[in-house]
Structure 1
Amino acid sequence: MKRLSLLLAGALLLQLQASEPSVFGAGNLDSDSPYGLTESEKKIVENRQNLKNTKRKSQENSAQLQSLRERIDGLQTIIEGLAEKTQENKLKVTELTSGEDIGAQRDAKIAALEEAVRADEANIASLKSLLESMATQVDAINANYVSKDEFNALVGEINAFKRDLGKTLKSVSAPAAGASLESKSSKELAAEAKASYNKLYFKDAIPMYEELIRRNYKPAYAHFMIGEMWHYRKEWSKALSYFKESAARSSKTSFMPTLMLHSAECMMHTGDSANAKKFLRSLIAKYPASGEAAEAERLLNTL
């Protein structure tokens, strides 16, 4: 009986031990469910959770802002095309009106062109309204953003685009600026190129950076910036060619982590997964503390 009692007591002790967390795990901050913490340790766990929440919100906001940026760029391209078409039709109307030909056929052509101009101008107005709505979304994200500094540059670019939206038609219908580029100093041209890039006026910025490359003025950076613009427009092969040339010009630049990450993305989209993996692993090894390295880790998990 005494032996049986000891066995029962032992079994009960084992059951109690199995139903409770081990005392040796108390204070383990690496546990998924830490327990037995001091007040200081509780604060550490709380701060860790806050950091996780901040990182998640930052990633969500980053994705939303990137999506808005791509949509703004696409809509601006459409507006540019419509504005060019409108300007061409207006010139045709002027030519027909001032010409010597008369008759119903000429009048019909003029009426059709004027109708096309009205339709395109209405479409432009509608797109401008949509862009204003998207800018409002950006403002809302910015107002509730827990880490504003990290995305200040991006928000500034979109806000600048919103302020200058009314100038789009004027800039599109203006004469080609190619001839005037040579009259500017390299420093002035570089500043204008960056300002156009910040406003997402890639159509203006690309020839400026090409002129800077021709002058051999900071060619590594100029190639990188053109690559960035083609990357944003998802022209993967074009972007990769500029990224390669930029890296060949200089391997020690502040933008190298971004260049490597975006080069890998271009390779992924062009089917070169093997080299994309090499770039991502190299990025992680060379710049382990960078935000690009964290994104590289995520992309590696998808390959």
Structure 2
Amino acid sequence: MKKIVLSFLLSLSVWGEVSAFEAGDLDNPHPYGLTKDEKYILKNRESIKQLKQIIDKQTQLIKSQQKDIETLKLNYIKYKENYNELAQKVSGINSLLPSLEDISLKVKNLENELNKTKEELNISKSNIEILSKQLNDLKIVVSQNSNLQQKNNAQLINLIEKMANKIDKLSSNLKKVSSTNANTTNSFKKLSKSKIFALALKEYRKYKFSSAYEKFYYLYEKKYRLAETLFYLGEIKYKRAHYKDALSFYKQSVKYLKNKNNYFIDDLLYHTGYSYEKLGNLEFAKKSYEKLINDYPNSNLVKYAKKRVKNLEKTK
């Protein structure tokens, strides 16, 4: 009986020694015997774990936005490839020359669709701003908890900074790709006339006709480079198939021409002829084409003008 009791007491002694070693173990699923500092460290670990979970969620959101942006970019590239392919086909199909201007308008409409695709990239911009705000909130939480362990705090801040860099890079890419919308205010009027003309010409070449028209018309009212300004006003009307208005501007442009060899005169004559043709005035259309052929034989539009004249003669 004494042996049994002694054996039981020895087992209790050994069990007590093992438990004493486990006291204060922070890795134990159910830690006990913690000091005040150890309890605080354990609490900070839980805070860091929660913050990491929040960061993981934000990272997933950013990845989702990146996928959306990549999809939009691929769509833009696809549209651009289709546009280039169509442009090559148009340049090589001589049998369709009588309809060349109509095809050109369709190509320009496709280019406008490309610009719309660029503008769709701005949809993600607001989401990026929301993520940035949430990220800043996380930074504030971390900075307020100044008693976090130095090692864990450094790791957390490093992770947050990486997220911030990704968001900044993403926002920068969006600004580069996104369409530069035309300024709807009158702020351009603060610029010099030469700069306004350059800006209007740039917008015209990018098919931003509404914004370009506003600037060219402002220059027309200021009587600045009237021959060119009126020509481009006519061109915008022409691109929109407003042929009667286009002719009105073309006629005024010719009045202010100081040099009959101006760089745009062959375009003006060809588009004048085409506008007359579309309006049913075939006699004046033929005269415009013939003037282009006779006065500017070196123009690359002469061959098209000759085909137009030939087609008009067949209709008699």
TM-score (norm 1): 0.48
- Select the structure of larger CA radius of gyration: 2
TM-score, normalised via structure 2 length: 0.46
